[in-house]
Amino acid sequence: MVRPGRNGSATVQQRVTSQKVLVIACGMIAREVLAVRDRLGFDHLELTCLPAEYHYYPDRIAPAMDKAITEARAAGYGQIFVGYADCGTGGLLDRVCEKHGVERIAGPHCFAFYQGLDAFNETAEDDMMSFYMTDFLCRQFEAFFLKPLGLDRHPELIEDFFGNYEKLVYLAQTNDPALDKVAEDAARLLGLVYERRQTGYGDLTAALDQASRIEG
């Protein structure tokens, strides 16, 4: 969206903004979006994020995204891409996308698009009792799981929260021994069989490549 200046022409800043692609993403994939952007050399792609904690509150995602897109349009962004899968919104995020005429990453959640939707669908049945972790969740295991669930103070609650899981599957975006250790220790703590899958960025790369070519 380019707004006219006093002389009837667009200001330089508004003109530059209109040429950018703004990705409004989940905070849980911020590092990964930036890594893919830098790898592809997409300097015109900008990133802003909604709070990562919405992972626990999917009902907040759609209204927050609606507000974020509205504000981005007002700021002059004509090209916007939603850096979320459905992520537990039950289709509400799609309604927001349709309302604003924007697209999102395909799939039900980040655990799916990191693996690639085809690969995810092939293993979905076997993974029914699996607890997924990603690089982000390894980095934030204490902040996102141990402390909020009180497991650091009451380990007896582990059975209540994780008793129905059979294995922990670490979907690794990078090769980092420190993160591997966190995932292995987490599986041991939770009493789950450990499995590591090197996924890289999965479908995120193709999604951002497509987003970079959106025409406003």
Confidence of residue 7 (pLDDT cuts 50, 70, 90): very low
Average pLDDT score over residue span 140-144: 93
Domain-embedded: residue 163? yes
CATH of the domain at 35: 3.40.50
Is 25 a member of any domain? Answer: yes
Domains in the chain, number: 2
Question: How many helices (H) does the chain have, and how many strands (E)?
Answer: 11, 7
Is the pLDDT at 9 greater than 90? The verdict is no
Kindly indicate the confidence band of residue 152, based on its pLDDT and cuts at 50, 70 and 90.
Answer: confident
- pLDDT value, residue 58: 96
Give the model's pLDDT for residue 175: 97
Q: Which domain holds residue 25?
A: 12-109+202-211
Q: Which two tokens stand for residue 163?
A: 């008793």
pTM for this model (two decimals): 0.88
> Average pLDDT, stretch 143-157?
90
Sequence-separated (6 or more) residues with CB below 8 Å from residue 44: 19, 20, 21, 212
H-assigned helices in the chain = 12-18, 30-40, 61-74, 92-100, 110-115, 117-123, 135-139, 141, 158-162, 177-190, 203-211
Are 102 and 25 part of one and the same domain? Answer: yes
Over residues 26-48, the mean pLDDT reads 96
Q: Which of 70-84, 94-108, 142-156 has the lowest mean pLDDT?
A: 142-156
pLDDT of 39 > 90? The answer is yes
Q: For 116-137, how does the pLDDT look when each residue is reduced to its tens digit (9 = 90+)?
A: 999 999 999 999 999 999 999 9
Identify which of 29, 38, 121 has the alpha carbon closest to the alpha carbon of residue 82. Answer: 29
Residue 188 and residue 128 share a domain: yes
Is there a domain that residue 4 lies in? no
Q: Check residues 1 and 134 and name the one with the higher pLDDT.
A: 134
Q: Are residues 48 and 62 both part of a single domain?
A: yes
Q: Whole-number mean pLDDT of the chain?
A: 91
The per-residue pLDDT for range 159-177, each reduced to its tens digit, is 999 999 999 999 999 999 9
Distance CA 200, CA 70 (A): 32
3-state secondary structure of 133: strand
pLDDT at residue 214 above 90?
no
Q: Would 75 be classed as within a structural domain?
A: yes
Q: Is residue 105 part of a domain?
A: yes
Axis crossing angle, helix 203-211 with helix 30-40, rounded to the nearest 10: 70
> Average pLDDT of 106-125?
96
